[in-house]
Amino acid sequence: MRSSLVFTIACVLLQARAADIPAHQEVILPGLHAYAEKSIAAGEEIAFRVSSSVPYRLTVVKLGPDPENRDNDPVLETFRINKPTPQPIHPGSYIHVSKGLPHDRELTELTLECWIRPFSLTGWQGLITQHDYPEQSGIGLFLNEGRIAFVTGAGGDYEPASLHQTEPSLIKAQTWHHVAATWDGKMKRIFIDGKQAVGFPFSGVVRPGHTALRLGAYGSEGVASSFYNGDLAMATVHDRALDQDSLAALLAVRGLNIPKGDSVMACWPFTEERGAQVVDASSSGRDGRIINRGTWMIGGPSFDAAAIGRHDSAYDPTKDTKRGHGLRLADDELYNARWEVNHRFRIPADAKSGVYAGRFDFEIDGKPRRYDTTFIVRRPESRPKAPVIVLVSSNTWLAYNSAPFPVNHGLGLLQMSTGGLKNSHPNAPVYSCYSDHHNGQPTYKIGMKVPWPAAGPNKTYINDSYSHLLRGERFLHLWLDKHEYEYDVITDHDLHQNPEVLEGYKAVCINGHSEYWSISAYDGLDHYLKNGGAAVVMSGNTMFWRVSFDDTGEVMECRKFGKNIGGRVHAQVGELYHSHDLKRGSLMRFCGYPAWELVGLTCLGWSGGNFKPYQVDLPDHFLFRGPHELDLNQGDTFGFTSTGMGAVGHEYDVRLSTILRATQDPVRKGLVEPEGITTLARSHDKRNVLDFNAEAHQGRFDEDQTIAEIIYWERPQGGKVFHTGSIATAWSLYHDKSLGQLTKNVLHHFGVTPASRP
């Protein structure tokens, strides 16, 4: 086979691969890891970024007609790599200020002060530093095993006598503290919350180190390291020693007033609340760059995030004069691996839209391993649209991407929980929408330019046969292929970026675990339906959490609240406002974008692997009668994946009227279900439910044990919706003749026929 694969291996120094960030502590990963663009159009080039410590074979494939055997996937190209190249990752967020204090200036007085709310008290953590251990040891304010430490070096080799610190019991985790370290030329003092904690005589030479000024880290042997885990606010450097009265005044305003005066050499009030730049409020121009982003929109020491009501729709963070500003940092933050491209391959212009992968086969310890880098091939603009567009729930795949750099596993199916797979390195990131950062910071952002093994085609969940991510969605694709329906495929992010992409399609299929939605995508679907479009929704837990994206395509943001429904442990309502648009996040139905208003159903809850079938409610409805006559009567069951196992399990959706019957006192009053919804079939089981208020109950308040509904809805505002209310619908569709005939009738009603028919 003539290769059209362009193979490049960058033989450069490992640190140079992160040339777009300052020198940074690196982590070398064992095994093989890779990522690529998550969506490209046919005819475009896919770029694979690979870190590997072992030789491998890369095969570009389209996922084929066998749902189980990946060896049967059609191959586009193959290449063997005998000399692999590992590429490091550089986790850890901090602020890099390239214009530091003059390193040749001998200071006569100094104050370093800021507000901190640490999540961890373990180890050394830089707060405000111009210090590189051990040869450029200058000045710095640090957190050391719960102590506040103050270093006043001469800018050269580290001298232990330049270090002074408090006792370890004065700083509490999850609590805002004002910390200040002063030196008047004779005495060093450390103040915590306005009170002097310790004082030490010191009259040595004090100079900043010949290194960057850093907030939330310090240098070690030339690279940023010892990252701070916590919240930082109003960090300021003064060239005089503030007295206790001055510090008491700063404490009283709790970070709301910017320090002024000629003595201020730098001050970062963090008023930006978005982006990667922080401005120095002094006249010195010591602006900073946030490395690995950090987290905005958490408020400052003046703000009680827990005091904001969950359903207080009137609260506007941009108008809250007492909110203040803070930046949250973490030593495991990473959203872009920044790897060099190793391989490029141009997808044929006539390639069918669908799910593809870069497949890596290799061995570790003599055992075969396989790693798939999944991507979507879209329809090119030059090609006519198919009748149907299928939306993959790529936002959910990202949300479950708990361990982007896992231990490499063998061939075949692999069960993966919400915590992801086992991590390949203890310092590699392990966080997602289902797990916090290593030191407990709530996860509010997910990286899009890192590997996403959660999107692998062989991942199962709950048991060895059920899948709720890519593998579960593939059953719809295979059913459409089998019955000769033409369709195009896009990702959630594609829809977010270009909501007009739905125009011109006869129907859009929303498939699988379509849990995470952006406002742009929601509005785009609404607009499409209002203009006469049709939606086939084969999803459960649909449109549950709100997400947003930054302009670089590097980050998906999701702020989940409510520990009983998977919200982050330390999340507070006042922190739910997204940095991308400053709008409230968490549940779509509490953000003004309820699923039932758009597609007719909303999530009722979740349970284990007990899957139930549907029961017919309206056997005479036209969708049961033509063009395919279903041999089903009222109460008959259908929608099976195998004998005794139905389509409804894990997570499921019902009408607003149904969930309200399971809710004693809805937090939203005056809710009215949209007109025109018809329930064709339901699934019943005695299970715990998640009521409208997102509160779990051991049982129901009513005797109706409906857990999922199949509906048909001609929306009064325009558009038609067929919704099956379960994640596993496609799995059942692939196996169940009756559900298949019903789906054919729905597509026919929406004007979609197989390609072999007129």
- Tell me which amino acid residue 713 is: W
Show Cβ contacts of residue 526 under 8 Å, excluding neighbours closer than 6 positions: 598
What pLDDT, on a 0 to 100 scale, did the predictor assign at position 697? 74
Q: How far apart are CA 671 and CA 197, in angstroms?
A: 56
> Is there a contact between 14 and 53 (Cβ–Cβ < 8 Å)?
no
What pLDDT is attached to residue 3?
32
pLDDT means per 10 residues, the chain with 758 residues, are 31 45 98 98 98 98 94 95 96 98 97 98 98 98 98 97 97 98 98 98 97 98 98 98 97 97 97 97 98 98 97 95 98 98 98 98 96 98 97 98 96 93 97 97 98 96 94 98 98 98 98 98 98 98 97 95 92 97 96 98 90 97 97 97 93 96 92 97 92 82 85 98 98 98 98 84
Distance CA 614, CA 639 (A): 6
CA distances from 16 to 26, 55, 218, 219, 343 (A): 11, 22, 20, 18, 19
Helix (H) or strand (E) holding 140, with range, is strand 136-144
Q: How many CA atoms lie within 13 A of 163 on its CB side?
A: 16
Predicted pLDDT at 699: 64
Q: Which of 139, 70, 129, 68 is nearest to 94 (CA)?
A: 129
| Residue 490 phi, psi (nearest 5) | -135, 165
Which residue has tokens 């607003």?
656
Residues of 587-609 as b/e, b for ≥16 C-beta within 10 angstroms? bbbbbebbbbbbbbbbbbbbbee
The answer to whether 430 touches 420, Cβ cutoff 8 Å, is yes
Torsion of CA 282, 288, 294, 300, to 10 degrees: 0
CA dist 699 and 686 (Å) reads 7
What is the structure's pLDDT at 89?
A: 98
Torsion of CA 62, 68, 72, 75, to 10 degrees: 20
CA distance 83 to 718: 58
Contacts of 152 (CB under 8 A, 6+ apart): 110, 139, 162, 183, 188, 202, 204, 206
Contact 80, 390 (CB under 8 A): no
> What pTM value is reported for the model?
0.96
- In the chain, the domains with their CATH numbers are 94-329 (2.60.120.200), 385-394+463-544+588-758 (3.40.50.880)
- Eight-state DSSP code of residue 16: G
**Position of tokens 């896009």?**
490
| Structural tokens at position 419 | 């915590």
DSSP string computed for 13-57: -GGGGGTTS-SB--BPPPSEEEE--SEEETTSEEEEEEEESS-EE
Q: Which one, of 633, 624, 613, 604, lies nearest residue 704 by Cα?
A: 604
Nearest to 303 by CA among 117, 444, 179, 113: 117
pLDDT at residue number 698: 65
Q: How many CB atoms are located within 10 Å of the residue 161 CB?
A: 11
d(CA 509, CA 387): 11
Look-up: residue for tokens 């391993």? 369
Using DSSP's 3-state secondary structure scheme, residue 301 falls into: coil
Residue 536's CB is within 10 A of a number of other CB atoms, namely 24
CA dist., res. 616 & res. 680, Å (int): 6
What residue spans of 569-718 are helical by DSSP H?
Answer: 595-599, 622-625, 656-661
